[in-house]
Amino acid sequence: MPEPPGGMLGPLLGADRVAARLDGRAWLDALLAVEVALTRAAAEVGLVDAADVPHVMGAVARLRDELDPAVVAVEAVAGGNPVIPVARRLRAAAGPGAGAVHPGATSQDVMDTALVLLVRSATVVIDDDIGNAADAAARLAAAHRDTPMAARTLGQQALPTTFGLVAAGWCAGLDRAVHRLVDVVGALPVQFGGAAGTLAASHPHGPALADVFADQLGLPRQDVPWHTERSRIGQLAGALGVAAGACAKPATDVVLLSATEVGEVSEAAPGGSSSMPHKRNPVAAVTARASARRAPGLVATLLAAADHEYQRAAGPWHSEWPALVDLLCATGGAGARLRTCLGGLVVHPETMARNLSLTDAGGTPHHAGDLVDRILGRRPEA
């Protein structure tokens, strides 16, 4: 059996579905897709001969089957990125159409644009998992709109609330995070500037070529090349970090509420222990927290790399690639495991009532139901 995407820990930490969209084969497919779009766009604006396009297309079709990601990874070491060996091989395979390969571009144009494609692919999975976790939280909120339980502040019982309001709060945070992520990812544009970001190598077609290139890939058009202006990457890192944090909140609550002494919720398929048969561990919530805990450090790495010097960064750009891939996997893992956790969460109202009776805090959660209705009523599908 082949190793699962994300390695041995991928399924455990929920990262396997996202990792499958970010592996070496996915990178190669994205790089080749970008090169194809660039060749087609260049032919459309008249920078290269349209008769050369079929040669490039045939070369790409052959290379998709022949290229080994492991070989390209080794070949990338000499030039500092995998675009250089891919473009070299593509030119060799294109024969008489070699002049239509990589027209007017620099390696960063292809690398950044391929990364945008990969981010889009990976966040489809992340959006699906976090969206389904939010839906599960919404169902819990509706079902337990009026189920009383103790609110807890600073770890102690405070006043009564309802489990519906707790779950509605989870739902609101998850919805907000995923909507922001969708907006940020949807705004990521094509990258095309040439060697120094001036479009000199594609003169006089540069701006038009950049626009057609974007249209070929279904990406937003750029305003100007953003080789060393990395605010978009920072926004993406922040959105992914917030999404991971939004997943960590309900996962943390589930871990605490399922403790033996509390016992107010439990997962549908709790995990066991290798030495204690009585254990019923909330493993999905635990591993959601584990994945989410990785995100802040990766966000910090991407923000720290924002100071790209001059017109091409020596190091900060390269540091983005593994950090962003890992961050996508961490956030995706948190969403996937939370989806499992909340999708099968079992609520124990009788235990909530018993625990609430332990103190004399009293009171009635008068507006809890109204707040639940307000939160759920604002959801797009409501």
Please say whether the beta carbons of 138 and 168 come within 8 A.
Answer: yes
Q: Which two tokens stand for residue 303?
A: 């923000």
Sign of the torsion formed by the C-alpha atoms of 180, 306, 29 and 104: positive
Residues of the chain with pLDDT under 50: 272-276, 382
Catalytic center residues = 273, 312
Taking alpha carbons only, the member of 219, 200, 52 closest to residue 119 is 219
Please say whether the beta carbons of 348 and 266 come within 8 A.
Answer: yes
- The set of residues, in sequence order, having a beta carbon less than 8 Å from that of 179 and lying 6+ positions away, is none
Residue carrying the six token digits 């995407």? 5
Determine the pLDDT at residue 378.
Answer: 86
CB burial string 86-97: b at 16+ within 10 A, e below: bbebbbebbeeb
Determine the pLDDT at residue 29.
Answer: 97
Beta strands in the chain (DSSP E): 148-153, 156-162, 265-266, 346-347
- The set of residues, in sequence order, having a beta carbon less than 8 Å from that of 203 and lying 6+ positions away, is none
| Ordered structural domains, the chain, with CATH | 16-377 (1.20.200.10)
pLDDT digits (tens, 9 = 90+) for 76-102: 999 999 999 999 999 999 999 999 999
Quick one: 240 exposed, middle or buried, by C-beta within 10 A (0-12, 13-18, 19+)? buried
Determine the pLDDT at residue 382.
Answer: 45
Cβ count within 10 A of residue 50: 13
Determine the pLDDT at residue 280.
Answer: 74
Please say whether the beta carbons of 225 and 232 come within 8 A.
Answer: no
pTM to 2 decimals? 0.95
pLDDT digits (tens, 9 = 90+) for 344-356: 999 999 999 999 9
Return the ∠ at Cα 219 (arms to 214 and 220), rounded to 5°: 85
Determine the pLDDT at residue 278.
Answer: 56
